[in-house]
Chain A
Amino acid sequence: MMYENVKNALLEVRTEEIPFSYIEPALKQIEQIASKFFNASRLKYTSLKTYATPRRLVLIVENLSGRSEDILEEILGPSLKAAKDVYGKYTPAAIGFAAKNGTTPEKLTEKVTEKGEYLSLVKKTIGEKTEKLLAMIFPEIIKNISFPKVMHWETTGFEFARPIRSVIALYGKKIVKFKIADVNSSNWTTGLHACDNTKIRIDLPENYITKMKNKSVIVNQNERKEQIRKSIGHVLKNVGNVVLDDDLIDEVNYLVEYPSAVLCAFDEKYLDLPAEVLTVCMKKSQKCFAVTDKSGKILNCFVGIKNGISMYQEIVKTGYEKVVAARLADAEFFYLNDLKNGLNNNVEKLKGVTFNKEIGTVYDKIERIKKISDIFNRKFNMQINDVLLERAIMLSKTDLVSEMVFEYSELQGIMGRIYALKLSENCDVAESIEQHYWPLSTSEKLPSNKIATVISLADKIDTLAVNFSIGLEPSSSADPYGLKRLGMGFIRIVMKNLPNEDFTDTIAEVFEFLPEIVKKHPKAKNAYERLIDFLWKRVEGVLEFQGYSSNDIKSVVNETKINELKAIGSLQPKLDALQKAKRNDNFASIISMFKRVNNIISQAKKQNINILQINENLLKEETEKNLFDVSKEVKIAVANHMAKNEYEKVFGKVLEMKLVVDSFFEEVMVMAEDKDVKLNRIALLCYVKSIFEGFIDFSALQQ
């Protein structure tokens, strides 16, 4: 499509530093709001582009048409019969309609429609000048961006993440004039903080990015990110590799307008600290990147990203090094203190750490984990050495009261593992201090050894039971305590390690271990049932994450649920068999066959027809006799296959059944006149249905 007089448009909102986490969401909103307003105003363009630095939110609209499109719209008035009297003169109805649309009846046309003849009017709304529309749209875009927290800073009461200090609004070379938050739109901005406050004038939208780059501001966030990588690569040439941390790069990217890397060093003696500690210190204290040699061993240097071009790097380097040295000195102090203190002493301290302010301490929790793990170990024959298990449980939370984790909470578990190994604990015990928190998210690793696995299960199910008992379970939209993540983790571990165990009784026992205050909580009623329900939803969630469709999942879950939390392990093989079966051409007709069977049964139930046992003497026709015989055989076969988890073979039997059921429906009237015969046939269909109970709920599948 060709547009006339197209020009580019530019909006730059220059602010004081916006928190980095607000920026990406703001850019998404700008794009959405802009396209909504442009569409509503019938303005055409070829593309919308959004950019940001910590101090600028930018929208560039390419090839924006000079006017909004005209619209022609036909309005039907009164019918001709009503519009003219017997003398052919216009009635008040016609005059009124014309007047309402700013014209006279003579100027209207007559239009033949399916319903008859009507007066009609073609109304033309002429497009407006883009400049005029932008003067309304640009402020709307700014006003409609929402941020997690907003502030006031001037007297009009405008709200934004941080103060707005200038606004460029251009259409071609013309300024789109408006005022927002006490700022008049203009064609100028300013550069880096450090470079005084001289105005940078922008003549045309298309020159903005380049002009800003010449003034040491990289507006395009992707280009800036690339510059960070390049700059790091440059200073690290022949030195080593940076420890790439995407989150940190993303954060740093929105903390600077022109990144330049500074290579710094720290005293070699700190290399005695664990690499995890060094990395976190540099990341948290300075948003700096750790460096390793080719083999991945951490080096005594780091890279900081400075805001501004490569000048005075030596001064900045000294500053960075000083701050990092102070942090590392602190970390070393914590590390040595923690090691001197050992982990055993921390167990007692956990009596002073609240797990939940009403419920009790972390120490109490450990006692419960012990009991629960014990049950798992015995009941599911996990064959874990009791002594090691108890040791691991006792140490599992001890790093929470270490000085290092108090300072850097993200090292929870990790420090426990490191300290335990240093203090010559058993390797599995040490690992389980870290791994009992796993999986950290839906896609992350599961615990790798048995001790960690059982503690992880016990810890999670205990936390869930407590929270469900005191009414802190998540809603569909809010999950402030991260319980869904815990639930998913629990289910993933069960699916992988104990797929064929019945957890129902065990979970009931977990509730027994809770402190009295929890058991007596007013919300404790039905907590067990709610938790089981919740866990089933997590089962569906985990399967969905693995890529199965929600209908397929429902069809297997519906039938398995009867057995409570047993046999979670059968779901995936059933689903895989189902995927294969669905490729069979007859599959759709299988679903419709089951639908038909179900309909007949539920109709009968609705009419309160009592479905009796099958009376073989009443089976008259050959096909129904055959159906019964085949069903009996298939039922035994299916039960055998199910017991051996041979689900593909079960589907084979489904196909077999289909043939006989089809001919039954073809040749036999279920709703026979003889009431007994009818009831017997319904009973026969119930029998057919019962064959696949506990396998798949065909009614949940889509045709």
Chain B
Amino acid sequence: MNFQEIIMNLQKFWTKQGCLMWQPYDLEKGAGTFNPATFLHSLGTKSWNVAYVEPSRRPTDGRYGANPNRLQHYYQFQVIMKPAPKNIQQIYLKSLKAISLDPKKHDIRFIEDDWESPTLGAWGLGWEVWIDGMEATQFTYFQQVGGISLNPISVEITYGIERIAMYVQEKNSVYDLQWNDDLTYGDIHLAGEKQWSFYNFEKSDVAMLKQHFADWEDEVKKLVSSNLPLPAYDAVVKCSHLFNLLDARGAISVSERVGYILRVRTISKIVADEYLKSIM
């Protein structure tokens, strides 16, 4: 099963479960959780079921294309169901069958792993799902987002699709994955990994990034006071990514780091409050 078939099979499976097939959000972000389809939509009482692929960027994880497992840009397959169905674990196990991992034939474990995003003021309890020892999925019941306690509770299921594909295709390097039958993951992304690692670690303009961070931080506050939580949230996501870039560049000292995290948390909280007001 090639990489794109894995994605398509997951999409088909979750569509059948009643999920809306959302699309990747057009901003750089560290994880699918930053997509407004997760962050904003997990707030409020309306039911919400959605799935999407999210390109995710973690500048510090770049390895110039030299490490077979580590990437600064990769994909997550994200599912959000609100409220969390009672049989969600069973549904998840069934989804594995759809990507040729029959739970009867594999050792599937739910290993305690509590999730917290300090910048998003969000946390939840759940597990890392191991398939024959491989960490395949993060499974979390959100408890708080933007500092707001949730009710009803959303469940977030995040598949690490490269890892799963490596397992299914029996490949030892992510770059050897068949994306389709002709092209490999390396064909598509290797050059990017090299160049972006170079950019993230060595070339990014620190002064510019810091300025952009401050500008977008101001923008959040302006937009919130104009009652525009959706554009304001984009500005939060931008700040978060700018922080990640600065971090990768080694431009933030240990004590500054705490300050930056607090700043992002503060603006994500005011946006969450404003968004909640707007949908009430």
**Residue ranges of A at the interface with B (Cβ–Cβ < 8 Å):** 16-17, 19-20, 54, 149, 151-155, 157, 162-163, 165, 193-197, 255-256, 285-286, 304, 306-308, 311-312, 315-316, 318-320, 322-324, 326, 354, 357
The contact of A157 among B86, B108, B114, B151, by CB within 8 Å, is B151
- 6 A–B contacts, CB within 8 A, in A order: A153-B84, A154-B86, A154-B153, A195-B104, A319-B106, A326-B69
Report the minimal beta-carbon distance from B78 to chain A, rounded to whole angstroms. Answer: 19
Chain B residues with CB under 8 Å of A318's CB are 132
**Nearest-CB residue, chain A, relative to B45:** A155
CB pair B133–A307 under 8 Å, yes or no, is: no
CB pair A151–B143 under 8 Å, yes or no, is: yes
CB pair A312–B110 under 8 Å, yes or no, is: no
Q: In the docked arrangement, what's the CA distance between A193 and B152, Å?
A: 25
Q: In the docked arrangement, what's the CA distance between A316 and B132, Å?
A: 5
Chain B residues with CB under 8 Å of A323's CB are 132-134
CB pair A165–B109 under 8 Å, yes or no, is: no
B226 contacts A by Cβ under 8 Å? no
Q: In the docked arrangement, what's the CA distance between A195 and B103, Å?
A: 8
Q: In the docked arrangement, what's the CA distance between A326 and B132, Å?
A: 14
CB pair A319–B167 under 8 Å, yes or no, is: yes
Q: In the docked arrangement, what's the CA distance between A308 and B109, Å?
A: 11
Chain A residues with CB under 8 Å of B114's CB are 149
Q: In the docked arrangement, what's the CA distance between A308 and B93, Å?
A: 15
Chain A residues with CB under 8 Å of B143's CB are 151-152
> Are A319 and B153 also in contact (CB < 8 A) when A17-B127, A149-B125 are?
no
CB pair A319–B131 under 8 Å, yes or no, is: yes
5 closest A-B pairs by beta carbon, nearest first, are: A319-B132, A19-B112, A17-B110, A323-B133, A306-B107
B225 contacts A by Cβ under 8 Å? no
Against A, the Cβ 8 Å flags (1 = close, 0 = not) of B154-171 are: 000000000000010000
Given contacts A17-B112, A194-B104, 10 further A-B contacts (CB under 8 A): A151-B124, A151-B153, A152-B143, A153-B141, A194-B93, A197-B87, A197-B90, A316-B106, A319-B132, A354-B254
Q: In the docked arrangement, what's the CA distance between A433 and B277, Å?
A: 59
> Are A153 and B153 also in contact (CB < 8 A) when A16-B110, A308-B107, A319-B106 are?
yes
> Are A307 and B109 also in contact (CB < 8 A) when A319-B167, A320-B133, A323-B134 are?
yes
Q: B interface, how many residues as a size bin?
A: 35 or more
Q: In the docked arrangement, what's the CA distance between A256 and B111, Å?
A: 11
Which of A151, A196, A316 is the most central at the interface, judged by chain B CB atoms within 10 Å of its CB?
A151
CB pair B125–A307 under 8 Å, yes or no, is: no
The contact of A155 among B107, B141, B152, B254, by CB within 8 Å, is B152
B83 contacts A by Cβ under 8 Å? yes
B105 contacts A by Cβ under 8 Å? yes
Q: In the docked arrangement, what's the CA distance between A256 and B132, Å?
A: 13
Q: In the docked arrangement, what's the CA distance between A354 and B257, Å?
A: 15
Report the minimal beta-carbon distance from A203 to chain B, rounded to whole angstroms. Answer: 25
Which of B105, B110, B143, B151 is the most central at the interface, judged by chain A CB atoms within 10 Å of its CB?
B110
Q: In the docked arrangement, what's the CA distance between A113 and B204, Å?
A: 96
Against A, the Cβ 8 Å flags (1 = close, 0 = not) of B78-92 are: 000001101101100
Q: In the docked arrangement, what's the CA distance between A197 and B103, Å?
A: 13
Q: In the docked arrangement, what's the CA distance between A153 and B90, Å?
A: 16
Chain A residues with CB under 8 Å of B150's CB are 152
Q: In the docked arrangement, what's the CA distance between A304 and B103, Å?
A: 17
CB pair B84–A193 under 8 Å, yes or no, is: no
Chain A residues with CB under 8 Å of B69's CB are 326
> Are A194 and B89 also in contact (CB < 8 A) when A320-B132, A323-B132 are?
no
Chain B residues with CB under 8 Å of A307's CB are 107-109
Q: Which of B111-149 contact A (CB under 8 A)?
A: 111-112, 114, 124-125, 127, 131-134, 141, 143
CB pair B151–A152 under 8 Å, yes or no, is: yes
Report the minimal beta-carbon distance from A301 to chain B, rounded to whole angstroms. Answer: 15
CB pair A324–B133 under 8 Å, yes or no, is: yes
The contact of B103 among A16, A154, A162, A194, by CB within 8 Å, is A194
Chain B residues with CB under 8 Å of A162's CB are 125
Chain A residues with CB under 8 Å of B83's CB are 154-155
Chain A residues with CB under 8 Å of B106's CB are 312, 315-316, 319
Report the minimal beta-carbon distance from A309 to chain B, rounded to whole angstroms. Answer: 11
Chain A residues with CB under 8 Å of B107's CB are 304, 306-308, 316, 319-320
Report the minimal beta-carbon distance from B137 to chain A, rounded to whole angstroms. Answer: 13
> Are A152 and B153 also in contact (CB < 8 A) when A16-B89, A193-B103, A255-B111 are?
yes
CB pair B84–A194 under 8 Å, yes or no, is: no
Chain B residues with CB under 8 Å of A149's CB are 114, 125
Chain B residues with CB under 8 Å of A154's CB are 83, 86, 152-153
**Nearest-CB residue, chain B, relative to A315:** B105
Chain B residues with CB under 8 Å of A155's CB are 83, 151-152
**Nearest-CB residue, chain A, relative to B143:** A151
Report the minimal beta-carbon distance from A348 to chain B, rounded to whole angstroms. Answer: 18
> Are A20 and B90 also in contact (CB < 8 A) when A154-B83, A319-B106 are?
no
Chain B residues with CB under 8 Å of A19's CB are 112
Q: In the docked arrangement, what's the CA distance between A20 and B84, Å?
A: 23
Q: In the docked arrangement, what's the CA distance between A311 and B105, Å?
A: 7
Report the minimal beta-carbon distance from A254 to chain B, rounded to whole angstroms. Answer: 10
Report the minimal beta-carbon distance from B61 to chain A, rounded to whole angstroms. Answer: 15
CB pair B89–A304 under 8 Å, yes or no, is: no
Q: In the docked arrangement, what's the CA distance between A149 and B93, Å?
A: 25
Report the minimal beta-carbon distance from A159 to chain B, rounded to whole angstroms. Answer: 10
Q: In the docked arrangement, what's the CA distance between A319 and B109, Å?
A: 13
Q: In the docked arrangement, what's the CA distance between A320 and B107, Å?
A: 9
> Are A193 and B132 also in contact (CB < 8 A) when A307-B107, A307-B108 are?
no
The contact of B132 among A17, A152, A315, by CB within 8 Å, is A315
Chain B residues with CB under 8 Å of A20's CB are 112
Q: In the docked arrangement, what's the CA distance between A308 and B83, Å?
A: 30
**Nearest-CB residue, chain B, relative to A304:** B133
Report the minimal beta-carbon distance from B258 to chain A, rounded to whole angstroms. Answer: 10
Q: In the docked arrangement, what's the CA distance between A152 and B84, Å?
A: 11
Q: In the docked arrangement, what's the CA distance between A152 and B150, Å?
A: 9
Report the minimal beta-carbon distance from A312 to chain B, rounded to whole angstroms. Answer: 4
Report the minimal beta-carbon distance from B136 to chain A, rounded to whole angstroms. Answer: 10
Report the minimal beta-carbon distance from B177 to chain A, rounded to whole angstroms. Answer: 15
Which of A153, A255, A316, A357 is the most central at the interface, judged by chain B CB atoms within 10 Å of its CB?
A153
Q: In the docked arrangement, what's the CA distance between A52 and B150, Å?
A: 30
Report the minimal beta-carbon distance from A51 to chain B, rounded to whole angstroms. Answer: 20
**Nearest-CB residue, chain A, relative to B68:** A326
Q: In the docked arrangement, what's the CA distance between A193 and B87, Å?
A: 11
Q: In the docked arrangement, what's the CA distance between A563 and B97, Å?
A: 75
Q: In the docked arrangement, what's the CA distance between A17 and B112, Å?
A: 8
Chain B residues with CB under 8 Å of A157's CB are 151
Which of A54, A152, A324, A326 is the most central at the interface, judged by chain B CB atoms within 10 Å of its CB?
A152
CB pair B133–A319 under 8 Å, yes or no, is: yes
The contact of B141 among A163, A194, A197, A319, by CB within 8 Å, is A163
Which of B93, B133, B151, B152 is the most central at the interface, judged by chain A CB atoms within 10 Å of its CB?
B133
Q: Which of B57-103 contact A (CB under 8 A)?
A: 69, 83-84, 86-87, 89-90, 93, 103
Chain B residues with CB under 8 Å of A308's CB are 107
Chain B residues with CB under 8 Å of A285's CB are 133
Which of B104, B152, B167 is the most central at the interface, judged by chain A CB atoms within 10 Å of its CB?
B104
Against A, the Cβ 8 Å flags (1 = close, 0 = not) of B242-277 are: 000000000000100000000000000000000000
Report the minimal beta-carbon distance from A326 to chain B, rounded to whole angstroms. Answer: 7
Report the minimal beta-carbon distance from A266 to chain B, rounded to whole angstroms. Answer: 13
**Nearest-CB residue, chain A, relative to B90:** A197
**Nearest-CB residue, chain B, relative to A256:** B109
**Nearest-CB residue, chain A, relative to B124:** A151
Q: In the docked arrangement, what's the CA distance between A316 and B84, Å?
A: 30
Report the minimal beta-carbon distance from A55 to chain B, rounded to whole angstroms. Answer: 9
Chain A residues with CB under 8 Å of B153's CB are 151-154
CB pair A286–B89 under 8 Å, yes or no, is: no
**Nearest-CB residue, chain A, relative to B139:** A16
Chain B residues with CB under 8 Å of A357's CB are 254
Q: In the docked arrangement, what's the CA distance between A276 and B105, Å?
A: 32
Chain A residues with CB under 8 Å of B151's CB are 152, 155, 157
> Are A312 and B104 also in contact (CB < 8 A) when A154-B153, A320-B132 are?
yes
